[in-house]
Amino acid sequence: MKLLNDWFTGPTNDNYEAGRFLWFISVAAAIGYSGWHLYQNGTFDIMQFGLGIGALLATGGWGISTKDKGAKSAQ
> Where residue 74 falls among pLDDT bands split at 50, 70, 90?
confident
Is 8 within a domain? Answer: no
Which pTM does this prediction carry? 0.72
Strand partners, 16: 9
CA–CA distance, 27 with 59 (Å, rounded to integer):
11
| Residue range of the domain that includes 34 | 18-74
pLDDT digits (tens, 9 = 90+) for 18-72: 888 888 898 899 899 999 999 999 988 889 999 999 999 899 889 888 988 887 7
The residue among 55 and 14 whose pLDDT is bigger is 55
Is 35 within a domain? Answer: yes
Q: What is the CA radius of gyration of the chain?
A: 15
Is 45 within a domain? Answer: yes
Number of domains in the chain: 1
> Where residue 14 falls among pLDDT bands split at 50, 70, 90?
confident
Is 4 within a domain? Answer: no
H, E, C per residue of the chain = CHHHHHHHECCCCCCECHHHHHHHHHHHHHHHHHHHHHHHHCCCCHHHHHHHHHHHHHHHHHHHHHHHHHHHHHC
